[in-house]
Amino acid sequence: RKEVEQDPGPFNVPEGATVAFNCTYSNSASQSFFWYRQDCRKEPKLLMSVYSSGNEDGRFTAQLNRASQYISLLIRDSKLSDSATYLCVVGTSGGSYIPTFGRGTSLIVHP
């Protein structure tokens, strides 16, 4: 099993739709979790951190499920500008911090 797994998609949704992505991780000692978005041929940009209590930023909600070892990202009222690849990052400390990126989930929002 890969350390961090994401469904590559693409998720093809109409404007205004709600879409959710999951990211599973294998190391139960993982301690930090983030979502990034990456536009084509650009650098990843931090979208939000994921806290144990979950967090919300406008149309975006991130949650952590430690028991099942996954994080989720929910996007409400999708906009055309949300089209991008969404990367999850899991940080594990086994003596030294190791950040592991998933390969990303592609989202296409169409009119």
Partner 1 sequence: EAGVTQSPTHLIKTRGQQATLRCSPISGHTSVYWYQQALGLGLQFLLWYDEGEERNRGNFPPRFSGRQFPNYSSELNVNALELEDSALYLCASSLGTRFNEQFFGPGTRLTVL
Q: How far is the CB of 87 from partner 1 (least distance, A)?
A: 7
Counts for the chain of helices (H) and strands (E), in that order: 0, 11
Q: How far is 69 from 3, CA to CA, in rounded Å?
A: 11
- Where does this chain bind partner 1 (CB under 8 A)? 31-32, 34, 41-46, 49, 87, 89, 91, 93, 96-104
Nearer to partner 1, 3 or 76 (CB): 3
Nearer to partner 1, 78 or 102 (CB): 102
Residue 110 tokens, joined: 């169409």
Nearer to partner 1, 75 or 89 (CB): 89
Tokens 């989202």 locate to 107
Residue 3 tokens, joined: 């350390």
